[in-house]
Amino acid sequence: MKVITTIKEMQEVISQFKSQEKSIGFVPTMGFLHEGHLTLVNRARQENDIVVLSIFVNPLQFGPKEDYADYPRDFERDRALAESEMVDFLFYPSVEEMYPNELSVKVTVQERTDVLCGSSRPGHFDGVATVITKFFNIIMPIRAYFGKKDAQQVAVIEGLISDFNIPVDLVAVDIIRETDGLAKSSRNVNLLPKERQEAPVLYQSLKAAEAAINEGERDPVKLITLIREKIRNDSTGVIDYVQIYSYPQLKPLEKLEGTIIIALAVKFSKVRLIDNFITNID
Ligand code: AMP
């Protein structure tokens, strides 16, 4: 595995493989790798000749009061994990390398951002779409791997790819969880011990909603109330949102039908956690 820190070198390597008609699979991450990330890498490894993993904590997608400074980082650990997963190139640019000047053009996401994390994190998805556009142009992957844990991100990137005719196949991978159900996240290390014990309530509340749907409940308001009560009763976390929409359009529903997402975000003292459940209702 080779670590590359400059855009110029990354582009030189890519053009060499493109001329040999090798397929390139790309996994964008912010590092502090865990099994969720490694599942994406694994999938990319199976489906492509060359695997590029990027590690970049993108300042553009963090709000002024968010956890950019506290976001966990451990490059040496990440490098060893990437190597053991047979990554070919670890792209690890600095902020100065990615954004040497104030951008004269930014990607602005118009749809699918007025709900869920888009409404609680203004500008977040513009930052995501901007950095992903840059990465797609630098790495020119044939396939890019994203986790359904960030289901709204998947919906936004699908829109980006389609609207800008980017020749990339988006591969969306299922959520990987701890044994107690908590969705794996780099941010989990910033939970206090008591909060870590409580955090599986996010998943448990989604499972309770799933059980209610299986018993015939189709009213989104009732499901949201059920989830909110469970989180309030079983944790000290503060609910940021619990919402139900069509997926991937993210439009409101009066009655559950078609493919839907139940998504939630809960704030603990230093971390805000998200989770979701996507299902098909006949
Ligand atoms: P991040 O480093 O948090 O930006 O995540 C990089 C990629 O890994 C994103 O596409 C995430 O959706 C995905 N990812 C993060 N956690 C998980 C998880 N627990 N299961 C599946 N994918 C994940």
Q: Can you tell me the mean pLDDT for 4-10? A: 98
Of 173, 205, 230, which closes a domain? 173
Q: Starting at the edge strand that comes first in sequence, how are the strands of the sheet with 169-173 ordered?
A: 2-4, 89-91, 50-55, 24-29, 143-147, 169-173
Question: How far, in Å, CA of 225 to CA of 200, rounded?
Answer: 18
Q: Compute the distance from residue 146 Cα to the ligand 1 centre, in Å.
A: 7
Please give the single-letter amino acid code of residue 97.
Answer: E
- Are 110 and 193 part of one and the same domain? no
Residues 138 and 200 in one domain: no
Asked if the structure places residue 179 within a domain, the reply is no
Please report the atom of ligand 1 found closest to the CA of residue 150: 12
Identify the residue whose C-alpha is closest to ligand 1 atom 12: 147
d(CA 29, CA 51): 13
Which of the residues 7, 37, 261, 273 is marked catalytic? Answer: 37
47: buried, middle or exposed (CB in 10 Å: 19+, 13-18, 0-12)? middle
Same domain for 210 and 259, yes or no, is yes
> What's the predicted TM-score (pTM) here?
0.97
Residues 147 and 206 occupy one common structural domain: no
Tens digit of pLDDT for each residue in 39-80?
Answer: 999 999 999 999 999 999 999 999 999 999 999 999 999 999
The ligand 1 site (C-beta within 6 Å) comprises 29-30, 36-37, 39-40, 146-147, 149-150, 173, 175-176, 183-186
Whether residue 92 lies inside any domain: the answer is yes
37 is known as an active-site residue: yes
Last residue of a domain, one of 173, 208, 228: 173
* Containing structural domain, residue 229: 186-277
Per-residue confidence (pLDDT) for residue 174, from 0 to 100: 97
Ligand 1: centre distance to CA 218 (Å): 30
Closest atom of ligand 1 to 145 CA is 10
The CATH number of the domain where 235 resides is what?
A: 3.30.1300.10
Tens of pLDDT, residue by residue over 120-143, are 899 999 999 999 999 999 999 999
In this predicted structure, the answer to whether residue 213 has a pLDDT above a threshold of 90 is yes
Confidence of residue 282 (pLDDT cuts 50, 70, 90): confident
In the chain, the number of structural domains is 2
Nearest CA to ligand 1 atom 14: 147
Last residue of a domain, one of 121, 152, 173: 173
Residues 70 and 115 in one domain: yes
The first and second tokens of residue 170, run together, are 């988006």
113 with 229, same domain: the answer is no
pLDDT at position 39: 98
Domain shared by 248 and 143, yes or no:
no
Peptide bond into 248 cis (omega under 30): yes
